[in-house]
Amino acid sequence: MEEKKSNGMSRRDTIKALATLPVLGYFGYAYNANLLKIEEAKAQDYLERLKIDKIEVSEEKLSPPTGNSGNRIRFGVVGNGWRGEQLLKSLGYVHPDYVEDSSENGIPDKGMQKFLDQEDLNVEFAAVCDTFEVHTRRGVEISANDLRPFGKKRDPKPAKVFSSYKEMIASDDIDAIIIATADHTHAQIAIEAAKAGKHIYLEKPMTHSIEEAVELRKVIKDTGVVFQLGHQNRQQMSFKIANELYEKGVFGDVSMVQVYTNRNTDFGAWIRDDAFDHKLGNKDNINWEEFLGNVPLCEFDRKKYFSWQRYSEFGTSITGNDLSHQFECMNQVLKLGIPETVVALGGQYYYKHHGDMPDVFNAVFNYPERGLTMTYDGNLKNDAYRPSRILGSAGTVDVDRAILMYKDSHSDRYKDIILDPSDPFYYYAPDDDVDAISSATSQVYMKGGYGPTTIDGKTVEATLLHLKEWVDAIRGQGKPSCDIEAGFEEAVTFNLANLAYEHKKVVTWDKVNEKAIIG
């Protein structure tokens, strides 16, 4: 019989009563140890995690304005369509209609306020040339509008109208030219402009053919004019950071690059029948011959004129329209250059009533010297968003305006870092105050690569930065980032894919003779 204590409890009772209490102690210990480990992983500096010292481009500053009263640049616009007007806005010119639509009772809306606050590049919209009278007239109205960034201009001088780009190039009224015409005229206008000593901002894609790209590059180099190709994503901070991370080995060996076009609308398929001004176009107000340029004369066709992208004699197919963007971004990040061989398949299966553009298109670009391939899936009948993806031995990286990197579970570089493979390893998004590893619930930020970018703590339109870079370079400050060499790589790459599609054969790039070899 056990001895009972005064309170009626034996020692055995006490032990049994308290027997499970040590579990609580162990719980506390395990909880703490686990928490510390998790917190430690979270708090780990992302640079340390990426095993780099710093990301230099994040510290990039906006370059100061270069304009002064003595170096105003007069520019002419050839092709004042929707893209032409976007470029004009970045250059500080908007249509009076826009001003009216963007303010209520004299109070500017957000977009308008941004326009008013944007940097004045100290340029003058001096001349306009368009094959469509409505566009020409709008150009003049834009130039005469006195609402400019940082207050009103006193004497807006209407832009001079030229009926042909040749006359505009030959005139002394402009120092520089902005070309935003149909693709088939890019090379001829740019070549003639360079020969006349005009600096060139050329909308993408660079040229309609490889031969044109070879010729244009030669002329640009010979004449020394400042040339910028209109891939404004050169200014996107995400691509700059991705490039630095890649060069510092953060992605490991890159074996595959995947780029996409994901669209599912008529407009997305470059069918422009319903654009606001296209109903106004007819044989009498469209200069069809000037539009045709080097294309053999044929009957006026409004469909062809407004949806020219879809006709191979004018446009450059889904590849020139969109792959060129995706490739250019990846070329910026990875310095891909020109592929050695290209195959492409697909067809025009859905939008059969306009032109000959394929709407389902796959291409593979092989870079044996780099040990990688790039694949392109272009789909105009499905808009599931797929960002460009870089597959590296150390991780998988989605890049558009943002960067989302997942560590590879067999990565040597990061084998010491314990992380759930489904957790983002590195995350960058513009508009966020810092680059940081976040839970990345915000994939939504990733969508759309063409908007504003973040630099120097400010949010700036990428197109404005791209034009500024060109304008500054004309004034001798810095140089354009999408120069003729980058443009050459872009033009050759997508044109190789077009040749492969057209001939249903493997196309090889003969880099010595700078020619495509078909079959």
Partner 1 sequence: MRKHNQYSEYSNWQVSALVILRVLIGWHFLYEGVVKVLNPHWSAAGFLNASQGPFANLFKGMASNSGVLEVINFCNQWGLVLIGLSLIVGLLSRWASIGGMVLLFLYYISNPPFIGIEASAVAEGSYLIVNKNLIELFSLLVLYLFPTGNIIGLNRLFASRK
Q: At closest approach, how far in Å is the CB of 40 from partner 1?
A: 16
The answer to whether 177 touches 154, Cβ cutoff 8 Å, is no
Interacting residues with partner 1 (CB under 8 A): 7-9, 13-14, 16-21, 23-24, 27, 31, 35
CB-wise, 28 or 197, nearer to partner 1? 28
Closer residue to partner 1 (CB): 73 or 440: 440
Comparison of 358 and 424: residue with beta carbon closer to partner 1: 424
Nearest to 499 by CA among 516, 476, 483, 480: 516
CA gap 397, 426 in Å, rounded: 9
Q: Which is nearer to partner 1, 12 or 503 (CB)?
A: 12
Nearer to partner 1, 39 or 104 (CB): 39
- Decide the pairing of beta strands 176-179 and 199-202: parallel
Q: How far is the CB of 154 from partner 1 (least distance, A)?
A: 55
Tell me whether residue 31 or residue 385 sits nearer to partner 1 (CB atom).
31
200's CB contacts (< 8 A; 6+ apart) are 176, 177, 179, 190, 193, 194, 220, 225, 226, 227, 228
CB 323 within 8 A of CB 363: yes
Q: State the amino acid at position 342 in one-letter form.
A: V
Residue 21 vs 297, nearer CB to partner 1: 21
Q: What is the 3 state secondary structure string of 240-294?
A: HHHHHHHHCCCCCCEEEEEEEEEECCCCCCCCCCCCCCHHHCCCCCECHHHHHCC
Q: Helix 133-144 crosses helix 82-90 at what angle (to 10 degrees)?
A: 10
Minimal distance, residue 4 CB to partner 1, in Å: 9
Least distance from C-beta 17 to partner 1, angstroms? 4
Q: For partner 1, which is the closer residue by CB, 27 or 349?
A: 27
Which residues, 6 or more positions from 268, have their beta carbon under 8 angstroms from its beta carbon?
A: 380, 383
Q: How far is the C-alpha of 406 from the C-alpha of 424, rounded, in Å?
A: 5
CA distance 466 to 457: 18
Q: Do residues 309 and 321 make contact, with C-beta atoms less than 8 angstroms apart?
A: yes
Question: Which residue matches tokens 């088939």?
Answer: 184
Q: Name the token pair of 478.
A: 């810095």
Nearest to 484 by CA among 157, 90, 191: 191
User: To the nearest whole angstrom, how small is the minimum distance from the Cβ of residue 31 to partner 1?
Assistant: 6
Compare residues 18 and 434 and give the one whose CB is closer to partner 1: 18
CB neighbour list of residue 212: distance below 8 Å, 6 or more residues apart: 186, 187, 188, 491
* Choice between 28 and 478, CB closer to partner 1: 28
Question: Is 23 or 512 the residue whose CB approaches partner 1 more closely?
Answer: 23
| Least distance CB 16 / partner 1 (angstroms) | 5
Based on CB atoms, which residue is closest to partner 1, 1 or 384?
1
Minimum distance of partner 1 from residue 46's CB (angstroms): 20
- Furthest C-alpha separation in the chain: 120
For residue 215, the minimal CB distance to partner 1 (Å) is 57
Burial of residue 31 (number of CB atoms within 10 Å: 0-12, 13-18, 19+): exposed
Rounded least distance, CB 19 to partner 1, Å: 5
CB of 14 to partner 1, least distance (A): 8
Half-sphere exposure of 103 (CA within 13 A, CB side): 16
* Shortest distance in whole angstroms from residue 20 CB to partner 1: 6
Cα 44 to chain center, whole Å? 32
Residue 277 beta carbon to partner 1: minimum distance, rounded to whole angstroms: 46
Q: How far is the CB of 434 from partner 1 (least distance, A)?
A: 19
| Residue number, 24 or 43, with CB nearest to partner 1 | 24
Closest CA to 428 of 448, 401, 393, 406: 401
Nearest by Cα to 373 from 490, 256, 258: 256
> What DSSP assignment string belongs to 338-406?
--SEEEEEEE--S-TTSTT--SEEEEEEEEGGGTEEEEEEEESSB-----EEEEESSEEEEESSSEEEE
The amino acid occupying position 370 is R
